[in-house]
Amino acid sequence: MNRKNVLFLLVFAGIFNSFAAIAQKDTTNSGCISITKIIPPSVKFSGFVNSEIFYDTRQTTGGRETLLMLYPAAKSPDIHGFDLNSKGNFNQLAMMSRLTANITGPDVLNAKTIGVIEADFTGTSDATNNIFRLRHAYIKLTWKSDELLIGNYWTPFDVAEMIPAVISLNTGAPFHSFSRNPQVRYVHNFNNLKLIAVALSQRDYASNGPLGVSSVYMRDAIVPEMHLQLQYNIGGHLFGVGGEYKCIQPRLATYKNIASDEKLESTAIIAFAKLNFPNLDIKLQGSYGGNISDHTMIGGYIESSIDTISGITKYANANSLDIWTDISTKSKKLNVGLFAGYYKNMGYSSDIATGGKFYGNVNNIGYLYRIAPRLTYTAGAVMFALELEYTAAQYGTPDIKGKMINPYEIGNFRTLFGAFYFF
């Protein structure tokens, strides 16, 4: 472990020791004497130690040395026509190991309080692999029917109860959203019905644009992403729908150095269901939207028109349709599961301009599908897992509407073994 990791861990532990020292004050009066009781918060650590070993039959596209695998890489012929990306790949990593601190203390404003800090060792890019990095950091106040969360947490598209139980770090991406954002989240409960309203910004998971992947485009638009969601729980089964509105400003000035205020507005919707049976969980979710690359999903936007005199550029969304299901048994020791997902490129909202650029993660895939069966065995705090994941992509050349010309399909088969120690 390098010096940065050691320093980070020492600071991380020191913060929670400070909590106990600072604590909360409960003041009572006894005659003329004021007595102050120190009520320290309760801190509980949890998490897991993890190691994953995996083999791919070809080169893949993803993150963290492809521990987060998204899809197989396109063909890359050499001068003799041999596909360089047909070469297999092997790796083993332990950076997914995780540490979570849950801090509970006295009630505030008649609400139960909790603070959560969660981190792992996956860094923020391949250049920072094995570096301790923030996942979640939030404060939550809970009343009888209301809840307020402020901090870094899953994007509303990542419904906690709906996250696929796959072994891979991708948790079903790019078919399922994978993103954590700074946010303010309000929840109101109407018995079985739950209303969720969220205003969020971007940090580690951000939009793409002329300056690369950055949160600056949403910051310059001065409008947070807004999300509204309804969840209905009946008999342990969960059903929900949600929608989001996002606004970004890709440029402050044109390439001719003329001020520009052109923005891109995007919307996306999700619908989901979780069927909770005594021995089986069945999850199903679908989503449709534009410019959702910040969710680690396929999408983005294009330059739809460029004024040749001023350089003023207008933008249009690249739209995506995703559906997936995850099925898993619920025994104490041996469990089986299956994830299946499908993505369809729905094209651009407008034709791309002559010489116009695409901003996102990829625009030369027409469809994707994945089938991933898994087997897990749990013995006390230890779990061993085997997951077989086949992901296929239809590559091609996008036309002015974003549809594929001369398409071909390519696939990758990943064998993944994981070992976990939970605490």
Integer Cα distance of 251 and 262 in angstroms: 7
| 31 and 47 in a common domain | no
pLDDT band at 15 (very low <50, low <70, confident <90, very high): very low
User: Do 113 and 141 contact (CB within 8 A), yes or no?
Assistant: yes
Q: Residue holding tokens 């199903």?
A: 284
Q: What are phi and psi of 275, to 5 degrees?
A: -100, 115
Mean pLDDT, to the nearest integer, of 126-145?
94
Instruction: List the one residue out of 212, 402, 262 whose CA is nearest residue 321.
Output: 402
pLDDT over 70, % of the chain: 91
| 68 and 2 in a common domain | no
pLDDT of residue 128: 87
Q: What would the pLDDT profile of 309-327 be if each residue is shown by its tens digit?
A: 999 999 999 999 999 999 9
Query: Dmax of the chain from CA atoms?
Result: 94
Between the alpha carbon of residue 205 and those of residues 52, 125, 173, 215, 293, the distances in Å are 24, 11, 13, 8, 9
Total count of residues recorded for the chain:
423
pLDDT over 90, % of the chain: 89
Q: Indicate if the pLDDT at residue 17 is higher than 50.
A: no
Q: Indicate if the pLDDT at residue 251 is higher than 50.
A: yes
pLDDT band at 188 (very low <50, low <70, confident <90, very high): very high
pLDDT of residue 172: 96
| 65 and 178 in a common domain | yes
pLDDT band at 37 (very low <50, low <70, confident <90, very high): low
| 98 and 27 in a common domain | no
Q: Indicate if the pLDDT at residue 31 is higher than 60.
A: no
Instruction: List the one residue out of 1, 105, 130, 85 whose CA is nearest residue 43.
Output: 105
Q: Indicate if the pLDDT at residue 30 is higher than 80.
A: no
Provide the pairing of β-strand 404-422 with 382-398: antiparallel
Cis peptide before 174 (omega within 30 of 0): yes
Q: How many domains does the chain have?
A: 2
Q: What would the pLDDT profile of 44-97 be if each residue is shown by its tens digit?
A: 999 999 999 999 999 999 999 999 999 999 999 999 999 999 999 999 999 999
Domain carrying residue 23: 1-40
Mean pLDDT, to the nearest integer, of 198-207?
96
- String of DSSP letters for 12-27: HHHHHHHHHHH-EEEE
The DSSP code for 74 is P
Integer Cα distance of 368 and 298 in angstroms: 10
| 143 and 3 in a common domain | no
| 89 and 162 in a common domain | yes
Instruction: List the one residue out of 255, 304, 77, 268 whose CA is nearest residue 179.
Output: 268
Per DSSP, what are the bridge partners of residue 41?
Answer: none
Distance of CA 114 to the CA centre of its chain: 23
Cα angle 401, 407, 410 (rounded to 5 degrees) comes to 130
| 263 and 161 in a common domain | yes
Mean pLDDT, to the nearest integer, of 292-312?
96
- As a whole number, the mean pLDDT across the chain is 92
Q: Indicate if the pLDDT at residue 8 is higher than 70.
A: no
pLDDT of residue 219: 97
Q: Amino acid letter at 63?
A: G
Mean pLDDT, to the nearest integer, of 350-375?
97
Mean pLDDT, to the nearest integer, of 6-17?
46
Between the alpha carbon of residue 334 and those of residues 112, 331, 410, 417, 421, the distances in Å are 37, 6, 33, 15, 16
| 51 and 157 in a common domain | yes
| 377 and 327 in a common domain | yes
DSSP-derived 3-state class of residue 181: strand
Three-class secondary structure assignment of 44-63: EEEEEEEEEEEEECCCEEEE
Mean pLDDT, to the nearest integer, of 101-113?
95
b vs e for 36-73, b when ≥16 Cβ sit within 10 Å of the residue's Cβ? eeeeebebeeebbbbebebebbbbbbbbbebbbbbbbb
| 159 and 32 in a common domain | no
pLDDT of residue 94: 96
| 116 and 18 in a common domain | no
Tokens read off for 206: 């951000």
Q: What would the pLDDT profile of 153-186 be if each residue is shown by its tens digit?
A: 999 999 999 999 999 999 999 999 999 999 999 9
Cα angle 206, 209, 212 (rounded to 5 degrees) comes to 75
pLDDT of residue 311: 95
Integer Cα distance of 231 and 159 in angstroms: 10
The CATH number of whichever domain residue 179 belongs to comes to: 2.40.160.10
User: Do 399 and 406 contact (CB within 8 A), yes or no?
Assistant: no
| 24 and 169 in a common domain | no
User: Do 298 and 317 contact (CB within 8 A), yes or no?
Assistant: no
pLDDT band at 19 (very low <50, low <70, confident <90, very high): very low
pLDDT of residue 32: 47
**pTM of the full predicted structure?**
0.88
Q: Indicate if the pLDDT at residue 4 is higher than 60.
A: no
